Amino acid sequence: MLALTEPKAFKDGVQFAFDSTSIKVAEECLRKYYYTMIEGWKSTSESVHLRFGGHYASAIEHFYKWKAEGMTHDEALLCAVKELMVETWDHDLDAEGNRVLDTGKPYEPPIDAPGSARMKTRENLLRTFIWYIEQFASDPAEPIILANGKPAVELSFALPVDDGIIFTGHMDRLTEYAGNIMGLDNKTTGSTITARYFEGFKPDIQMSMYTFAGKMIYQIPVRGMIIDAAQIAVGFSRFERGITMRTDSELQEFYDTTMATIARARHATEMEYFPMNRTACSNYGGCPFRRVCSKSPEVRTQFLKADFVQAERWDPLRAR
């Protein structure tokens, strides 16, 4: 087995710092948690959706940060587009993994990418970002200014809670909207955005985590989250805004449930026993490890090595 460096979020092999990603995996299936978080198995193919969504959210964050720091709308937009074009150019790499200047090509999803992933092109990324900014040019959901005088954008947090556990995450921004303090998160999808789409964010670990952390860290009465969703399609991008609220009792329930999930994950790690949740095998189009878990235990490692690679492990405490 490949010896992987222990992430900062772990101590003596047991995770103590949890973000919404690791909590979701632990809640879904402890065997999946073992394969992904403990052993670091990852698919050999890059997630087109994660790369597209990451570039998109980062460009929006930087636009609002630069505006809050004094740039005009057009100046901030130009800087964000330039940065986005640089980040979506795939350079050739030398033997040490460094970029080779004046080489490479624009990023495009693999030609065999499934379904909506084929829409996640560089051209569609640039279009979607620019159209989003222009549609919300007069957006009342501007970032608030924190007590330290800085705009509430690109908010990475590490919140100590009970039992030596730390909640971590990264919020796009905090805003004042319709008389309430709200977090805001950007999402992309290939599907038509309906009311049902936004209903999927309650209950939702990420949105509850952000609301909980916003209240606790910044001592601000954060009421919930705004979700700005972008539909990516052939020839157009369409945007809809939804809101998901949280009461204090809902946040307390989120906290209690989350701490129970973390306790189970930590206990499983200490006992070195990670039972599979067989009811989750078909979730979200099927667990990527379903083929592995369907095999007899003594041959699963061979199937893991065939379909996955052990890469740098997920670390909720890694700086962004």
Q: Please check whether residue 271 is in contact with residue 167, taking contact to mean a CB–CB distance below 8 angstroms.
A: no
Single-letter code of the amino acid located at 167: F
Taking the C-alpha atoms of residue 55 and residue 222, their distance in angstroms, rounded to an integer, is 26
206-242 per-position pLDDT tens digit = 999 999 998 888 888 899 999 999 998 888 899 999 9
Q: Is there a domain that residue 269 lies in?
A: yes
Query: Could you give the number of structural domains in the chain?
Result: 1
Q: What is the pLDDT of residue 131?
A: 94
Q: Is there a domain that residue 304 lies in?
A: yes
Asked if pLDDT for residue 1 goes beyond 50, the answer is no
Q: Is there a domain that residue 302 lies in?
A: yes
Asked if pLDDT for residue 256 goes beyond 90, the answer is yes
Q: Is there a domain that residue 25 lies in?
A: yes
Q: Is there a domain that residue 37 lies in?
A: yes
Residues spanned by the domain of 268: 20-41+257-310
Q: Residue 233's beta-bridge partner residues?
A: 236
Share of the chain above pLDDT 70, in %: 95
Among 115-124, 151-160, 185-194, 296-305, which is the least confidently predicted range? 115-124
Q: Please check whether residue 181 is in contact with residue 220, taking contact to mean a CB–CB distance below 8 angstroms.
A: yes
Name residues whose C-beta falls within 8 Å of residue 31's C-beta, 6 or more positions apart in sequence: 274, 275, 276, 277, 289, 293
In 10 A of CB 210, how many CB atoms?
A: 28
12-54 per-position pLDDT tens digit = 999 999 999 999 999 999 999 999 999 988 876 667 888 888 8
Question: Which stretch of DSSP H or E encloses residue 298?
Answer: none
Burial of 23 (0-12, 13-18, 19+ CB in 10 A): buried
Locate 144 and state its tokens: 């608030």
Q: Is there a domain that residue 291 lies in?
A: yes
- Would you call 95 helix, strand, or coil by DSSP? coil
Taking the C-alpha atoms of residue 124 and residue 56, their distance in angstroms, rounded to an integer, is 10
